[in-house]
Amino acid sequence: MKKIVFALALFVGMFSMNAQTEEELKAQKAEKQAAADALQAEADAIQAQIDALPGWEVGAFGTIGGSISRFNNWYAQGTPNNSSGNIGFTVNAYANLDQEKFFWNNSANINLAWVKLDDKDDPTDSDKFREATDVFNLSSLYGRKISEKFAISGLMEYRTTILSNFNDPGYLDVGVGGTWTPIKNLIVVIHPLNYNFVFSDNDTVFESSLGAKIVADYTRKIKAINFKTNLSMFQSYKSSDLSNWTWTNSFSYTLWKMIGVGFDFGLRQNKQEAVNFNLAQGNVNTTFDNVDNKIQSFWTLGLSYNL
């Protein structure tokens, strides 16, 4: 009987000692975790102060998408023997400097794509990739701050294509006016004095003119999401036929490390380009009065890579 009582007492003592040891370990863990959380909070606060310091902010993100296919004796389609493919990519880059009395924002947007459809039953058919999307934009905005949200500014913006018709046409906007920054990451440019230089071999259609320039740009990064939207408008004082606007949008979501999914789309309306295209297609009676000035558009969906 004494042996049984001794064994029970020893078991209860060991259980109590283990329970006490576990509680002590949990308490120590909680104490260390609280200390680590406090240090992390301090580190995050210091990083926030570093991010808030004025200086150059540089970044880039882009999208790449593509596919290839080959059909043999696929009679359900009009071209049963063919090889096809498409590939495209976009790059959005920026370098911004924000100081106490001035700012200087620079950005670049490139969107290029190629497609091919090679009909194997047509010996005259081309088997090469040809240009499908061709967008090249550069802009530089300098502003002298007169208040927290308003600045006197100057803008230079250049737009063209680079694959087949570089600078034909090309558009260079140079102007002065004001820039409004109502919220962080949003820039609204209103320049009532702006000259739109147009470069082209077809001087009968493309014409430079004086007008007003309006630009709205919103660029934001939220954790794994990169987003940019840009609206650029020129209103000619000489004629509405010489006015134009372009709206581009880029979105990317990082899934793993720096790789994710991206989507880009853009809209544009430019009557000078519409007239020039119709004349090139042989519609010799096309004028600014009768041209069908359709809205131009593009979109790209594919993998994205963030820098």
**Beta-carbon count within 10 A of 257 CB:** 8
Q: Is the pLDDT of residue 242 over 90?
A: yes
Q: Which residues contact 142 (CB under 8 A, 6 or more apart)?
A: 102, 103, 104, 153, 154, 155
pLDDT digits (tens, 9 = 90+) for 130-167: 887 788 999 999 999 999 899 999 999 999 988 878 88
**Per-chain mean pLDDT for the chain:** 84
pLDDT digits (tens, 9 = 90+) for 39-82: 787 777 776 665 555 678 888 877 777 777 888 877 677 787 88
Is domain 55-306 classified as CATH 2.40.160? yes
Task: Report how far residue 11's alpha carbon sits from residue 263's, in angstroms, rounded to the nearest whole number.
Answer: 66
Bigger pLDDT: 242 or 252? 242
Task: Report how far residue 296's alpha carbon sits from residue 86's, in angstroms, rounded to the nearest whole number.
Answer: 20
| Exposure string for 190-205, b = 16+ CB within 10 A, e = fewer | bbeebebebebeeeeb
Task: Report how far residue 190's alpha carbon sits from residue 186's, in angstroms, rounded to the nearest whole number.
Answer: 13
Residue with tokens 């979501």: 253
Query: With the C-alpha atoms ordered 40, 220, 300, 167, is the resulting torsion angle positive or negative?
Result: negative
Q: Is the pLDDT of residue 254 over 90?
A: no
**Beta-carbon count within 10 A of 236 CB:** 18
pLDDT digits (tens, 9 = 90+) for 106-136: 999 898 888 888 888 888 888 788 887 788 9
pLDDT digits (tens, 9 = 90+) for 165-205: 888 889 999 999 999 999 888 999 999 999 999 998 877 88
pTM of the shown model: 0.73
Q: Which residues contact 213 (CB under 8 A, 6 or more apart)?
A: 155, 157, 173, 175, 177, 189, 190, 191, 194, 196, 232, 233, 234, 235
Q: Percent of the chain scored above 70 by pLDDT?
A: 88
Residue with tokens 């009557």: 271
Ranked by mean pLDDT, the top range of 13-22, 32-41, 208-217 is: 208-217
Residue 37 is encoded by which pair of tokens? 């959380």
Judge whether 75 and 113 are in contact, CB under 8 Å.
Answer: no
Band of pLDDT at residue 30, cut at 50, 70 and 90: confident
- Distance between first and last Cα of the chain: 77
Band of pLDDT at residue 4, cut at 50, 70 and 90: low
Phi, psi of 125 (to 5 degrees): -75, 140
Q: Which residues contact 87 (CB under 8 A, 6 or more apart)?
A: 64, 65, 66, 67, 113, 114, 129
pLDDT at 204: 80
Q: Percent of the chain scored above 90 by pLDDT?
A: 34
Q: Where are the domains of the chain?
A: 1-53, 55-306
Segment 195-219 shows an average pLDDT of 91
Segment 284-291 shows an average pLDDT of 89
pLDDT at 237: 96
